[in-house]
A and B are shown apart, each in its own frame.
Chain A
Amino acid sequence: MSDAFTITDEQQDYSQYDLDANPFPYSPVPTEDPGIYCGQQHVSDKISSTVSSMLSTGKSKHLVVTGKYGNGKSHTLKYTRSLLRDRDDVIVGYVAQPGDGFLDIYHEFVYDLGFNRLQEFAYEFLASVARDVTDTNPIGASGMESLIDEGDVLLSEIVPEAIRRLSDVTKFADFARAIIHMVYEDTNLYAWQWLTAEGIRYEQRKEMEIHSALDDDTMGVRAFTALKNMLLELGYTGIFVFVDEFESIARLSPKDEQATLNSIRHLMDQNSSGLCMLFGCAPEVWQDVMSEYHAFSERIGEEVALKPLTSENLYELVRDYLDQERLSSAENEGIDPFSEEALDLILQTSQGNIRQVLSMCSRILDDAAESQENKITAAWVEDNI
């Protein structure tokens, strides 16, 4: 047997750097819930302004975040999402890429919300009806669910009224029925499949008295609008949709690309309030969209570009990462064990690309720990990259 590989789960010791572990990611992809956002003040200002406008006025507002690969578009969207998710008056959904058309955006958005969340909306809506037509006062989804389970309200009394009201609010009776069917264990998986536009058999639709198939962009826009209107009715301020890798629409045929952009435009037109869409897009594709699809790009209105990191940005970024794993609580170690010159060299080599910066820092810190280097200097970096 060959002993060419040495595989072990033994952790490397970083205590000489006052670190519990290597804080940099080995594979620099944005985490689902990022905790750090450095630099790019102009971007955070613009996003804050867009999001705040929507929250304060209820009027829809949209923004495109452009930046080259690795400059932090996904990280920016996910960081914003993580901030918004803490609020209980908005609904936030992340779409990793637009897919083959608007129906895919809708599908991804609803999937990101998840089965449980959609079921909660159904219970919340039933709760709003129960408050009006019964003597009960259910608070939230779980309050409603327990009232049903305990027999404090009669389902057959509130369900027909809930469907009628939700149909009025959404102008989409099939959508209303699907939402209400989320509370029935026999049909909630079918309802979920229909609501996510996955497609269900005619018999399954018939069981829920759903007449239409949710299988094209037009229906996707209608369902999305219905969902938003339901949420506004429930008291939410609005929906935030984060569409990442928007540049991938460029691989669609011109006809499909136009259809996708038209559908998003229709969605924006039909939702002048309660909707905020943030797109992450490569600058060259966004330039093409701006020049060729005015009707779409004019509705977005604003664009903000991510810039390569500066030295100051990098010091701050590295310090924030290192602080996550510092053993002592003094937090006066700064960028130690990196020297400023070492980081400047890393910045120069990576051309300010944050993905490359993080990757290099991760590798260099491991190598330095293995070599028992006390300080990571520019010379050491130069010898080791």
Chain B
Amino acid sequence: MLYRRRKLDLPRGELDTPVLFPVRNIGKRSSDNTPTYVGTIPEFSAAMINARSIRNRDPMWQRISNGVTLREEMDVPEDTIVFADSGGFDFANEEVDTTPAKTLDTQRQLDADILGTVDIPLSRENRAAENQRRIDQSIEYALKASDHHDGKGLLFASVHGYDPETIRNNIQYLEKNGEFDGFALGSMVPIRTDYKKVTKLILSARNATDKHLHVYGLGGLVYQPLLLYLGVDSFDSSAFIRSAGNRNYLIPGFGGEELRNIEELDRLPCPCPVCGQKELDEIREDRTALTQHNLWALATELRRFRYVAESDRDVEEYLDLRFSGNKVTKRAYETAKQQMRRLT
């Protein structure tokens, strides 16, 4: 097992890893509908934000330029740790409208603790040559960011590739030619159902560097234990918001359950501060409550894994049980286990 515990030394203090960065959709057109969680869920004192969205939201950017802090905009304490992604996800289908220097400038103005480099995501639908061009471009952006980075906040190079050689090669190349505090693996979301490929790519990244490894976009209930098992240090997820939007109730150890399938229940199976006090009908009517519960579900999943690992229990035995209920995820875990054993 590659699971590991580290500390990230950040401008706002230390952050224990592995850690989940809940995605804040602040700056997006749908407005910030992320409920308050900092201060209520202890392990979630951090957030992932999209620097480009905020910069492109004129009124908000004006306020920030005039001295309002990002944390004030987010209505969170000033010591909340922020990972500012470049917003490269949007470049999957849009022209790149920023430069590494401009993005760094935005990230600095947001007073981000962790800065992700500009990148262009890949898609399996693209021609190989187009994906190669995007990989090449993302590397160039990362190196330029390294040149411009003033050392305030940690700089994570965004890395893309759909084969282990490319991932390893990119990380080694960036290590040699730039200065990065960690690496963030992208383009995993479009291939997330291909668990075998995803685990292989993550393992290749994990083996290529001992530095901090973040995986963009895969911090949902199912992937979380897999990522921990594969030694990933951090991940982000908006699953708690998206699931709530679909009236999907996340249950640690299981997955998502649509509320319409459990209408007869009075009380939900989770004892979190939301579900422990409210009845199902109340939660169904209150999207914020459902979102908050879903965050608690992610926290619980993380706590369980940590508990098993720290109490010297057999993590693989736990994961055998954890994934036994679903053939697809069970196969994914079995694949990850085999790949891991080939390494050790």
Given contacts A155-B169, A156-B166, contact A209 B128 (CB under 8 A): yes
Contact residues in B for A36 (Cβ distance below 8 Å): none
Q: Which of A154, A163, A185, A186 contacts B136, CB < 8 Å?
A: A154
Minimum C-beta distance from A191 to chain B (A) = 12
* Pairs A–B under 8 Å by Cβ, sample size 10: A154-B139, A154-B169, A156-B133, A156-B136, A157-B136, A159-B132, A160-B132, A184-B164, A184-B166, A185-B164
Q: Which of A150, A152, A186, A209 contacts B200, CB < 8 Å?
A: A186
Q: Please measure, in the bound complex, the distance between the C-alpha atom of A154 and the C-alpha atom of B133, giving whole angstroms.
A: 12
Q: Are B172 and A150 in contact (CB under 8 A)?
A: yes
Contact residues in A for B176 (Cβ distance below 8 Å): 150-152
Q: Which of A151, A160, A163, A186 contacts B169, CB < 8 Å?
A: A151
Contact residues in B for A183 (Cβ distance below 8 Å): 165
Is residue B168 within 8 Å, beta carbon to beta carbon, of the partner chain?
yes
Is residue B173 within 8 Å, beta carbon to beta carbon, of the partner chain?
yes
Is residue A86 within 8 Å, beta carbon to beta carbon, of the partner chain?
no
Q: Please measure, in the bound complex, the distance between the C-alpha atom of A83 and the C-alpha atom of B175, giving whole angstroms.
A: 46
Is residue B257 within 8 Å, beta carbon to beta carbon, of the partner chain?
no
Contact residues in A for B161 (Cβ distance below 8 Å): 156
Is residue B163 within 8 Å, beta carbon to beta carbon, of the partner chain?
yes
Main SS at interface, chain B: helix
Minimum C-beta distance from A19 to chain B (A) = 48
Is residue A187 within 8 Å, beta carbon to beta carbon, of the partner chain?
yes
Q: Are A156 and B168 in contact (CB under 8 A)?
A: no
Q: Please measure, in the bound complex, the distance between the C-alpha atom of A150 and the C-alpha atom of B165, giving whole angstroms.
A: 11
Contact residues in A for B166 (Cβ distance below 8 Å): 155-156, 184
Is residue B327 within 8 Å, beta carbon to beta carbon, of the partner chain?
no
Is residue B135 within 8 Å, beta carbon to beta carbon, of the partner chain?
yes
Kindly identify, within residues 144 to 166 of chain B, every residue whose CB is under 8 Å from any CB belonging to chain A: 161, 163-166
Q: Are A156 and B132 in contact (CB under 8 A)?
A: yes
Interface residues on B, range: 20 to 34
Is residue B127 within 8 Å, beta carbon to beta carbon, of the partner chain?
yes
Minimum C-beta distance from B162 to chain A (A) = 8
Minimum C-beta distance from A313 to chain B (A) = 55
Q: Please measure, in the bound complex, the distance between the C-alpha atom of A252 and the C-alpha atom of B51, giving whole angstroms.
A: 70
Is residue A113 within 8 Å, beta carbon to beta carbon, of the partner chain?
no
A-side interface residues, number (CB < 8 Å): 20
Given contacts A184-B163, A209-B127, contact A151 B173 (CB under 8 A): yes
Q: Which of B127, B139, B164 contacts A186, CB < 8 Å?
A: B164
Q: Are A185 and B132 in contact (CB under 8 A)?
A: no
Query: Which residue of B135, B161, B163, B174 has the most chain A CB atoms within 10 A of its CB atom?
Result: B163
Minimum C-beta distance from B191 to chain A (A) = 12
Q: Are B165 and A151 in contact (CB under 8 A)?
A: no
Is residue A149 within 8 Å, beta carbon to beta carbon, of the partner chain?
yes
Q: A154-B139, A184-B166, A187-B163 are in contact. List 16 more A-B contacts (CB 8 A).
A: A149-B169, A151-B169, A151-B174, A152-B176, A154-B136, A154-B170, A154-B173, A155-B170, A156-B132, A156-B161, A160-B129, A160-B133, A163-B129, A184-B163, A184-B164, A186-B163
Minimum C-beta distance from B340 to chain A (A) = 16
Given contacts A159-B132, A209-B128, contact A184 B165 (CB under 8 A): yes
Is residue B81 within 8 Å, beta carbon to beta carbon, of the partner chain?
no
Q: Are B139 and A151 in contact (CB under 8 A)?
A: no
Q: Please measure, in the bound complex, the distance between the C-alpha atom of A209 and the C-alpha atom of B128, giving whole angstroms.
A: 7
Minimum C-beta distance from B259 to chain A (A) = 37
Q: Are B164 and A148 in contact (CB under 8 A)?
A: no
Contact residues in A for B164 (Cβ distance below 8 Å): 184-186
Contact residues in B for A148 (Cβ distance below 8 Å): 165, 169
Q: Please measure, in the bound complex, the distance between the C-alpha atom of A152 and the C-alpha atom of B176, giving whole angstroms.
A: 8
Is residue B315 within 8 Å, beta carbon to beta carbon, of the partner chain?
no
Chain B 170-209 interface 0/1 with A at a Cβ cutoff of 8 Å (1 = within): 1111111000000000000000000001001000000000
Contact residues in A for B135 (Cβ distance below 8 Å): 156
Q: Are A149 and B133 in contact (CB under 8 A)?
A: no
Q: Please measure, in the bound complex, the distance between the C-alpha atom of A149 and the C-alpha atom of B165, giving whole angstroms.
A: 8
Contact residues in B for A149 (Cβ distance below 8 Å): 168-169, 172
Q: Are A185 and B139 in contact (CB under 8 A)?
A: no
Contact residues in A for B170 (Cβ distance below 8 Å): 151, 154-156
Q: Please measure, in the bound complex, the distance between the C-alpha atom of A184 and the C-alpha atom of B136, giving whole angstroms.
A: 17
Kindly identify, within residues 258 to 286 of chain B, every residue whose CB is under 8 Å from any CB belonging to chain A: none
Minimum C-beta distance from A158 to chain B (A) = 10
Contact residues in A for B174 (Cβ distance below 8 Å): 151
Q: Are B175 and A151 in contact (CB under 8 A)?
A: yes
Minimum C-beta distance from B43 to chain A (A) = 34
Q: Please measure, in the bound complex, the distance between the C-alpha atom of A163 and the C-alpha atom of B169, giving whole angstroms.
A: 18
Chain A 172-186 interface 0/1 with B at a Cβ cutoff of 8 Å (1 = within): 000001000001111
Contact residues in A for B197 (Cβ distance below 8 Å): 186
Q: Please measure, in the bound complex, the distance between the C-alpha atom of A150 and the C-alpha atom of B175, giving whole angstroms.
A: 10
Q: Are B175 and A155 in contact (CB under 8 A)?
A: no
Contact residues in B for A153 (Cβ distance below 8 Å): 169, 173
Residue of B nearest to A150 (CB): B172
Q: Please measure, in the bound complex, the distance between the C-alpha atom of A177 and the C-alpha atom of B175, giving whole angstroms.
A: 29
Q: Please measure, in the bound complex, the distance between the C-alpha atom of A157 and the C-alpha atom of B133, giving whole angstroms.
A: 8
Query: Which residue of A177, A184, A186 has the most chain B CB atoms within 10 A of its CB atom?
Result: A186
Residue of B nearest to A185 (CB): B164
Contact residues in B for A159 (Cβ distance below 8 Å): 132
Contact residues in B for A209 (Cβ distance below 8 Å): 127-128
Kindly identify, within residues 200 to 222 of chain A, every residue whose CB is under 8 Å from any CB belonging to chain B: 209
Q: Please measure, in the bound complex, the distance between the C-alpha atom of A24 and the C-alpha atom of B166, giving whole angstroms.
A: 53
Q: Are B165 and A185 in contact (CB under 8 A)?
A: yes
Minimum C-beta distance from B130 to chain A (A) = 10
Contact residues in A for B175 (Cβ distance below 8 Å): 151
Residue of A nearest to B197 (CB): A186
Minimum C-beta distance from B97 to chain A (A) = 22
Chain A 135-172 interface 0/1 with B at a Cβ cutoff of 8 Å (1 = within): 00000000000001111111111011001000000000
Minimum C-beta distance from A239 to chain B (A) = 28
Query: Which residue of A149, A154, A185 has the most chain B CB atoms within 10 A of its CB atom?
Result: A154
Q: Are A156 and B127 in contact (CB under 8 A)?
A: no
Minimum C-beta distance from B122 to chain A (A) = 11
Contact residues in B for A154 (Cβ distance below 8 Å): 136, 139, 169-170, 173
The 10 A-B pairs with the shortest beta carbon distances in the complex, nearest first, are A151-B172, A151-B173, A156-B135, A156-B136, A155-B169, A156-B132, A186-B163, A184-B163, A160-B132, A154-B173
